[in-house]
Amino acid sequence: MPEGPEIAREADRIRAAIGGESVERVRFAFPELKRRSAIFTDSRVEAVTPRGKAMLVSFDNGLTIYSHNQLYGKWFIRNAGRLPKTGRQLRLAIETKEKWALLYSASEIEVLDEVSLSHQPYLEKLGPDALAPSTTLESVLERLETKRFMRRGLGSLLLDQAFVAGLGNYLRSEICFEARLHPDQRPFDLTSADRRRLARAILTMTRRSYETGGVTLPASRAARLRTQGASWAKARHWVFAREGAACRRCDENIQRFDLAGRRIYVCRSCQPNRRAAN
């Protein structure tokens, strides 16, 4: 599933292609939305905004198209009149004179007015977005220290969009490693210095991934690996998807286990489970 950084980069591409442009046609695949297609003709795209793992395309007619990529959704940008070669099913097309923004495979698409947008269930439950400039280290630290989240294991907490929006599976592994914390630990178990380091890692890893297109290693480290012949995938992460490989800090083998129904990766030397030891 695309995580916050990937959705934000898709929003950048969509905004660059159709932002501020007049709409010639909107097409929906779902029957319940098709009858609303004509409402968008000659409207103008006012904003393209990522919210966690959702996308909001807002128009000057007061309506917003909400979408969530879920596991398989993917946006394509094409010149007008051209479709990508793909086996995916087209779910939404926003067509302007020069460019088309095309959403394939997603099954969660809604047309919302201002009132329904404010009560959309997914958006309503979102915590602060890790990529938003208004989300500061102190605001994340405050959430880590609230009763609602303090006794949650990090492995599940870092997937909860109500805690901080935009985090996901690869980011939780990378955040825990960056903070030198085991995913079984809870904010309650940590020192104030540990929690501050964790809050900083949440913002650093998410924002670095957005800036680099999915690389969570420091840029100099990733570049050095690439010059040594590593592929982009092999030079991308500290621990995620590196089961059995040597830790980039201590040479201990990276281990994988399942947590909250999804795979997670740790270095047991760099990330000792102090909670289990107690």
Structural domain harbouring 183? 137-277
User: What is the number of domains present in the chain?
Assistant: 2
How much of the chain exceeds pLDDT 70, in percent? 98
For residue 277, the model assigns a pLDDT of 53
Q: State the Cα–Cα distance between residues 262 and 83, nearest whole angstrom.
A: 34
Is the pLDDT confidence value at 225 over 90? yes
For residue 274, the model assigns a pLDDT of 74
Is the pLDDT confidence value at 278 over 80? no
Is the pLDDT confidence value at 202 over 80? yes
Asked about 53 being catalytic, the answer comes back as yes
CATH assignment of the domain containing 120: 3.20.190.10
Q: Same domain, yes or no, for 95 and 117? A: yes
Asked about 262 being catalytic, the answer comes back as yes
Residue 191 lies in a domain: yes
Q: Same domain, yes or no, for 158 and 235? A: yes
**249-273 pLDDT tens trace:** 999 999 999 987 899 999 999 999 8
Q: Same domain, yes or no, for 120 and 144? A: no
Q: Same domain, yes or no, for 37 and 72? A: yes
Pick the last residue of a domain from 125, 145, 167. 125
Is the pLDDT confidence value at 3 over 60? yes
Is the pLDDT confidence value at 275 over 80? no
Catalytic residue among 262, 268, 274, 275: 262
**12-49 pLDDT tens trace:** 999 999 999 999 999 999 999 999 999 999 999 999 99
Return the higher-pLDDT residue of 70 and 254: 254
Report the predicted TM-score, pTM, of the whole model to 2 decimal places.
Answer: 0.93
